[in-house]
């Protein structure tokens, strides 16, 4: 049985409507703050795709009004499930913008858990969008995705914090000097910390770590010159960490 849902979020962003549009309605823009590698055909009826670790999801562009409205919708699955996304942009005085995000559709039998995960996840991703537009606006990030199964969430979080030599507890605003084995040093600050994820911002990247039941994920966005080969290196680091 499917269950309808709708989530709506508003966020004020320190960027012009044109800059917000570039971040939410183009492949390179989405790559710089959201998940996976993205491509967008810039027209109604075009395809918007996201690839995370070889898993590709596609949606059809249902609205394309530059600087104003961007919307997509996935095709219904065998059980009728689908997802629709609408981004509404409104310019404000002083060069800022308010973005409204509406995520709706039909969820499956485990709809309560899915809904709760979406409800908790969107505020973080929109926070990352604001981080991008505040600190890296006008630059294109290289997305880095990694996944490792097999470790309970609490144990994974402890292992991540230890391997990155992070302070305990994790508090947004705290400075960090992390030395992950085989990877560049991360000098920056913790920007987000909750029970499921934490994030670090450095001078050249946004780094996020997500721990769930039996699954550990990383979604990084790198803006420096050392991004080449980073995904392979981070995936190896994550796999080695969770194998221990």
Predicted confidence at residue 112, as pLDDT, reads 86
Long-range contacts of 237-241 (CB under 8 A, 24+ apart): 237/146, 237/163, 237/180, 237/181, 237/182, 237/183, 238/146, 238/147, 238/148, 239/148, 240/181, 241/148, 241/159, 241/160, 241/163
* Residue 191: CB atoms within 10 Å: 20
Mean pLDDT by 10 residues, the chain (244 residues): 93 97 98 97 98 94 98 94 97 93 92 89 97 96 92 87 89 93 94 95 97 90 89 93 71
- CATH superfamily, domain 142-243, is START domain (3.30.530.20)
What are the backbone angles phi and psi of residue 209, rounded to the nearest 5°?
-130, 130
Domain definitions of the chain by residue range: 3-135, 142-243
Predicted confidence at residue 57, as pLDDT, reads 96
Predicted confidence at residue 244, as pLDDT, reads 63
* Whole-prediction pTM: 0.95
CA distance 168 to 171: 8
User: Which CATH architecture describes the domain 3-135?
Assistant: 2-Layer Sandwich (3.30)
């Amino acid at each position: 049985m499917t269950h309808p849902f709708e989530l709506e979020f508003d966020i004020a962003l320190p960027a012009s409507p044109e800059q917000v549009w570039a971040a939410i309605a183009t492949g390179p823009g989405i790559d710089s703050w959201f998940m996976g590698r993205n491509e967008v055909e810039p027209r109604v009826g075009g395809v918007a795709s996201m690839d995370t670790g070889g898993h590709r999801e596609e949606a059809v562009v249902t609205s394309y009004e530059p600087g104003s409205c961007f919307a997509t919708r996935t095709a219904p699955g065998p059980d009728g499930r689908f997802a629709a996304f609408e981004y509404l942009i409104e310019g404000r005085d002083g060069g800022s913008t308010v973005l409204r995000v509406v995520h709706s559709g039909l969820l499956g039998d485990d709809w309560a858990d899915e809904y709760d995960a979406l409800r908790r996840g969107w505020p973080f991703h929109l926070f990352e969008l604001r981080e991008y537009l505040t600190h890296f606006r006008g630059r294109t990030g290289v997305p880095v995705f990694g996944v490792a199964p097999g470790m309970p969430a609490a144990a994974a979080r402890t292992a991540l914090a230890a391997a990155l030599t992070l302070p305990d507890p994790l508090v947004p605003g705290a400075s960090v000097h992390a030395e992950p084995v085989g990877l560049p040093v991360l000098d920056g600050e913790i920007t987000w910390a909750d029970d499921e994820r934490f994030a670090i911002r450095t001078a050249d990247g946004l780094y996020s770590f997500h721990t769930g039941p039996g699954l550990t994920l990383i979604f990084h966005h790198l803006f420096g010159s050392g991004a080449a080969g980073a995904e392979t290196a981070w995936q190896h680091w994550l796999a080695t960490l969770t194998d221990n």
